[in-house]
């Protein structure tokens, strides 16, 4: 496969192999930097090497693609050239054997089509009142004023909403605390070291395996009770219970559990992280907060929230997407190269990993002016700095764009449309930095805000 773009777009010194970032140690290359400070390593790689930069991590060659033109190469490459399946074997212990990245390509595509049923289309209209219900329930005991860790709040809240929407009302109300503990152990196992070897005998991975077994037992129990009662539902759980593959095979309880977990990962972590960062950025920029509040008061007033109302709040939508640009939850994406790939004078060898980074790509000043500044109007007419194809990649791009993007945006808008019509907020405590300890980059905790009822 070759590219038609001029080699001038990717300055380099070696006509065949991508230039490699400096540093590294004999035998292990940049492994230490990759584990300790992968974002710093990627920033240095772009600064030294440009749009396409080489790394050596342990015994693995990795090539970082940043900038719209390189990112277009990355996301437009076919699955038989750049493959997610091989690169995301770290998710197999989380989702389970035979599910998504451990399934055959054909079976994986069938599974993903089933998951899309829960995250797009008519289901979104059904979810809007659930979002509002869960926000109202979560603040029922807040009182007139107080202080709350907002990231902790959004993690729990989006866990409730995702569980309610995907697993069903009975699971949400019967097993909330138990499920939260199990899901936390699954989510915290996604760390940079898992890319290297997800089966190392470390406490984090042992906790993950115990949590996956426990969740499987919980799902099997609920499945048996539903079948015994003969009750159905509109949630994803029931959809998977009733579904069959193209060969007529029904999904096993193990597959149902893994696919529910995969959907939670698609619809939960983006929502919790981005809701927290949106609040932080709005409180750090009072003018932008006032614009959001004014829009909510003017367009929504006191009326109940529904799908149409949530789609209509454009200022709020841009504030969320701008927070997502600056603080992408998934700051590094990976694929494995299945066949030699020729692009712009470079040869990316079979067996290498190719990386894209929404975090680094969104910091490029020639694409996003004053890139680290929170400025929602950059996403509005006439500026539309995200209009350049493959420049805004918080949700990925192309055929592998994140399945949960519509679910996440609708959920976050429901959170802010509910909270900001009831309360005023202010930051409380020390400045908040990003925690890059896992593969989902959230705010460091404590992440406290003070709230007061609006008069």
Distances (CA, A) of 199 to 32, 56, 162, 207: 19, 21, 28, 12
- Least confident range from 270-279, 281-290, 343-352: namely 343-352
Residue whose C-alpha is closest to residue 330's, from 411, 421, 438: 438
Number of Cβ within 10 Å of residue 125's Cβ equals 12
> What percentage of the chain carries pLDDT values higher than 70?
94
Distances (CA, A) of 126 to 86, 98, 121, 361: 35, 30, 10, 35
Number of Cβ within 10 Å of residue 211's Cβ equals 23
- Whole-number Å distance between alpha carbons of 43 and 37: 10
> What percentage of the chain carries pLDDT values higher than 90?
37
pLDDT class of 279 with cuts at 50, 70, 90 = very high
> What tokens does 78 get?
């076919």
Q: pLDDT tens digit string along 340-349?
A: 888 878 888 8
Question: Tokens 């900038």 belong to which residue?
Answer: 67
pTM of the complete model: 0.85
- Check residue 67 and give its pLDDT: 94
pLDDT class of 3 with cuts at 50, 70, 90 = very low
Residue of 306 and 134 predicted with greater confidence: 134
* Residue 345 region by backbone torsions, left for phi larger than 0, else alpha for psi between -120 and 50, else beta: left
- Check residue 175 and give its pLDDT: 67
Strand residue runs (E) in 250-378 = 333-337, 341-343, 346-348, 353-356
Domain for residue 146, yes or no? yes
Residues in the chain: 455
Domain for residue 42, yes or no? yes
Q: pLDDT tens digit string along 192-243?
A: 788 778 889 999 999 999 998 888 888 888 888 888 877 666 678 888 888 8
- Check residue 70 and give its pLDDT: 94
- Least confident range from 111-120, 248-257, 385-394: namely 111-120
Q: Which backbone phi and psi does 332 adopt, to 5 degrees?
A: -145, 130
Average pLDDT, the chain: 86
- Whole-number Å distance between alpha carbons of 193 and 439: 10
Residue whose C-alpha is closest to residue 435's, from 268, 208, 192: 192
Res 96 pLDDT > 60: yes
Distances (CA, A) of 26 to 57, 91, 303: 11, 29, 64
- The DSSP line for 255-269 is HHHHHHHHHHHHHTH
108-117 mean pLDDT: 82
- Whole-number Å distance between alpha carbons of 296 and 313: 7
- Check residue 16 and give its pLDDT: 55
Residue whose C-alpha is closest to residue 414's, from 316, 323, 319, 327: 316
pLDDT class of 400 with cuts at 50, 70, 90 = confident
Q: Helices in 37-122 by DSSP H: which ranges? A: 38-49, 68-76, 84-87, 92-95, 105-119
Q: pLDDT tens digit string along 290-321?
A: 999 999 999 988 878 888 888 889 999 999 99
- Check residue 294 and give its pLDDT: 95
Distances (CA, A) of 400 to 116, 275, 382: 12, 23, 29
- Whole-number Å distance between alpha carbons of 405 and 267: 7
401-412 mean pLDDT: 83
Res 396 pLDDT > 90: no
Res 10 pLDDT > 70: no
Res 6 pLDDT > 60: no
Q: How many domains does the chain divide into? A: 1
250-279 mean pLDDT: 85
Q: pLDDT tens digit string along 12-69?
A: 444 457 888 998 888 898 988 888 889 999 999 999 999 999 999 888 889 999 999 9
pLDDT class of 184 with cuts at 50, 70, 90 = confident
354-374 mean pLDDT: 94
Give the range of the structural domain holding residue 412, as residue numbers without chain letter. Answer: 7-453
- Check residue 366 and give its pLDDT: 93
Distances (CA, A) of 171 to 131, 259, 336: 16, 16, 37
378-405 mean pLDDT: 86
- Whole-number Å distance between alpha carbons of 344 and 342: 7
Domain for residue 2, yes or no? no
CATH number of the domain enclosing 203: 1.10.630.10
- Whole-number Å distance between alpha carbons of 307 and 394: 23
């Amino acid at each position: 496969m070759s590219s038609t773009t001029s080699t001038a777009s990717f300055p380099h010194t070696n006509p065949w192999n991508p230039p490699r970032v400096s540093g590294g140690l004999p035998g292990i290359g940049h492994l230490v930097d990759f584990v300790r400070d992968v974002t710093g390593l990627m920033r240095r790689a772009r600064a030294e090497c440009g749009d396409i930069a080489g790394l050596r991590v342990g015994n693995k060659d990795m090539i970082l693609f940043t900038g719209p033109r390189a990112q277009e190469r990355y996301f437009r490459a076919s699955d038989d050239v750049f493959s997610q399946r091989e690169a995301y074997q770290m998710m197999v212990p989380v989702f389970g054997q035979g599910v998504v990245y451990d399934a055959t390509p054909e079976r994986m595509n069938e599974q993903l089509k089933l998951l899309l049923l829960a995250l797009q289309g008519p289901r979104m209209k059904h979810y809007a009142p659930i979002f509002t219900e869960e926000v109202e329930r979560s603040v029922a005991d807040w009182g007139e004023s107080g202080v709350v860790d907002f990231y902790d709040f959004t993690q729990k809240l989006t866990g409730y909403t995702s569980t309610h929407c995907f697993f069903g009302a009975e699971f949400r109300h019967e097993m909330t605390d138990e499920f939260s503990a199990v899901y936390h152990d699954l989510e915290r196992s996604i760390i940079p070291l898992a890319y290297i070897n997800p089966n190392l005998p470390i406490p984090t991975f042992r906790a993950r395996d115990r949590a996956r077994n426990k969740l499987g037992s919980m799902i099997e129990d609920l499945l048996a009770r539903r079948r015994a009662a003969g009750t159905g539902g509109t949630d994803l759980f029931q959809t998977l219970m009733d579904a069959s593959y193209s060969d007529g095979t029904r999904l096993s309880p193990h597959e149902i559990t893994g696919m529910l977990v995969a959907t939670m990962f698609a619809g939960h972590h983006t929502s919790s992280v981005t809701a927290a960062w949106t609040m932080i950025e709005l409180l750090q920029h009072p003018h932008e907060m006032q614009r959001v509040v004014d829009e909510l008061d003017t367009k929504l007033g006191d009326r109940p929230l529904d799908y149409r109302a949530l789609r209509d709040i454009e200022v709020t939508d841009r504030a969320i997407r701008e927070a997502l640009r600056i603080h992408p939850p998934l700051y590094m994406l990976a694929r494995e190269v299945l066949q030699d790939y020729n692009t712009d004078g470079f040869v990316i060898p079979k067996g290498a990993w190719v990386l894209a980074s929404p975090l680094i790509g969104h910091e490029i000043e020639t694409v996003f002016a004053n890139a680290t500044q929170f400025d929602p109007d950059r996403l509005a007419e006439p500026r539309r700095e995200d209009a350049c194809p493959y420049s805004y990649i918080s949700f990925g791009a192309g055929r592998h764009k994140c399945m949960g993007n519509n679910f996440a945006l609708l959920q976050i808008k429901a959170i802010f449309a509910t909270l900001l019509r009831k309360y005023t907020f202010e930051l409380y405590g020390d400045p908040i930095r990003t925690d890059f300890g896992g593969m989902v980059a959230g705010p460091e905790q404590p992440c406290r805000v003070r709230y007061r009822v609006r008069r």
